[in-house]
Amino acid sequence: MTGLAKKFTYAGGVRMRPTLSWTPTEDSSTAVASLADVEEVVAAGGVLVLSGAGLSTESGIPDYRSDTGSLHRHTPMTYQEFVASVDGRQRYWARSHLGWRTIARAQPNSGHRAVAELQANGYINSVLTQNVDGLHQAAGAAGVVELHGSLDRVVCLGCKRISPREELDRRLRAVNPGFTAETSRINPDGDVELPAEAVRGFALVDCADCGGVLKPDVVFFGENVPGERVRHCYELVDEAEAVLVLGSSLTVMSGLRFVRHAAKADKPVLIINHGPTRGDVHAKGRLDMPLGLALTELARSLA
């Protein structure tokens, strides 16, 4: 491991490659929920929403682990690779420089708007999202906790300065005039597939204040969610009356731990997701239904 990697690796961090899937067992199954079941829980109020990539697929941003998810065709950048390798950073920023424009143009879908409406009408207390696309906020949701950060921000690993992504985009355009390439599908982490020859020669820029390494202000695979953020999320779960999971397979512990925490406290957990999730065993039921449709009908019923 290089000196840079040693310097910026979080103490006690979990070193793991992206988890593609988990294997359901008979013990991990849960009851099939109906929209009426979800409505009954949400109508009581005090709901904490935990959303994942499945909520943003209707906005044109793919998820990770569905049958067509991006993990079937690419391995996302890990924290260890990013900090240890200049080549890794060049590859990430070249791909992300093009992909971020697509993320920035994405619009909230009916599911995002329904969550904001349910919050405005007092049914939802908190929104925790594993997504980095900012679409909950764009739809009007307030006080959204971004578990994995946001692609709209950039952090310096040296001085910790946070800066807008637009600022970095302008600087990268200036040192890479005319940079473009034929791209394939965008990934949920905001980068695109690029051939190796398109990446070569892409110029990086350093922190304008201290010359340090710039990183998107998102939690990479292999990196920990900041402890203070995790503690805040546990507090929000404690304050909630119920948890509603939207579009997440809960494969990784980042989101699953909050579902487990709620279930341990005997708070009802309901899941709307396409296919089984790792949290099903902790849930009162799971509804397999398109999220935009389900949430729109829910908001309409409770209006």
Q: Judge whether 12 lies within some domain.
A: no
Same domain (yes/no): 234, 165? no
With bands split at pLDDT 50, 70 and 90, how would you rate the model's confidence at 191?
A: confident
Task: Round to whole Å and give the CA distance between 278 and 121.
Answer: 30
Q: Judge whether 17 lies within some domain.
A: no
Q: Judge whether 19 lies within some domain.
A: no
Same domain (yes/no): 37, 178? no
Q: Is 62 annotated as a binding-site member?
A: yes
- Are 18 and 53 a contacting pair, CB within 8 Å? no
Q: Is 156 annotated as a binding-site member?
A: yes
Q: Of 218, 236, 257, which closes a domain? A: 218
Same domain (yes/no): 204, 255? no
Q: Is 124 annotated as a binding-site member?
A: no
Same domain (yes/no): 244, 262? yes
pLDDT at position 192: 80
Q: Judge whether 3 lies within some domain.
A: no
Same domain (yes/no): 51, 189? no
Q: Of 176, 200, 218, which closes a domain? A: 218
Contacts of 210 (CB under 8 A, 6+ apart): 156, 158, 159, 161
- Are 83 and 275 a contacting pair, CB within 8 Å? no
Look at the alpha carbons of 99, 100, 102, 107 in this order and tell me if their dihedral is positive or negative. positive
Same domain (yes/no): 112, 249? yes
| DSSP percent split of the chain into helix, strand, coil, nearest 5 | 40, 15, 45
Q: Which two tokens stand for residue 100?
A: 């971020």
Please choose, from the candidates 167, 139, 173, 171, the residue with its C-alpha nearest in 3D space to the C-alpha of residue 154. 167
- Are 86 and 5 a contacting pair, CB within 8 Å? no
CATH number at residue 100: 3.30.1600
pLDDT at position 10: 36
Q: Judge whether 2 lies within some domain.
A: no
With bands split at pLDDT 50, 70 and 90, how would you rate the model's confidence at 5?
A: very low
Q: Which domain holds residue 176?
A: 73-105+151-218
Integer angstrom CA distances of residue 6 from 197, 205, 216: 30, 22, 19
Task: Round to whole Å and give the CA distance between 74 and 79.
Answer: 16
pLDDT tens column, 124-143: 999 999 999 999 999 999 99
- Are 152 and 161 a contacting pair, CB within 8 Å? no
Q: Of 163, 184, 218, which closes a domain? A: 218
Amino acid at 147: L
Same domain (yes/no): 291, 264? yes
Q: What is the average pLDDT score of the chain?
A: 87
Q: Is 233 annotated as a binding-site member?
A: no
Q: Is 53 annotated as a binding-site member?
A: yes
Q: Is 247 annotated as a binding-site member?
A: yes
> Which of 26-35, 51-60, 290-299 is the least confident region?
26-35
Q: Judge whether 187 lies within some domain.
A: yes
Q: Per-residue pLDDT averaged across 18-39, rounded?
A: 72
- Are 151 and 100 a contacting pair, CB within 8 Å? yes
- The number of helix segments (H) and strand segments (E) in the chain equals 11, 9
- Are 208 and 158 a contacting pair, CB within 8 Å? no
Same domain (yes/no): 301, 249? yes
Q: Judge whether 25 lies within some domain.
A: no
Burial track 44-78 (b if 16+ CB lie within 10 A, e otherwise): ebbbbbbbbbbbbbbbebbbbbbeebbbeebebbb
CATH number at residue 54: 3.40.50.1220
Question: Of all helices (H) and strands (E), which one includes residue 156?
Answer: strand 149-156
DSSP per-residue letters across 199-210? HTTPPP---TTT
Same domain (yes/no): 175, 291? no
Q: Is 58 annotated as a binding-site member?
A: yes
Same domain (yes/no): 86, 228? no
Q: Judge whether 139 lies within some domain.
A: yes
**Between 112 and 63, whose confidence is greater?**
112
Same domain (yes/no): 144, 286? yes
> Residues with catalytic annotation?
148
With bands split at pLDDT 50, 70 and 90, how would you rate the model's confidence at 284?
A: very high
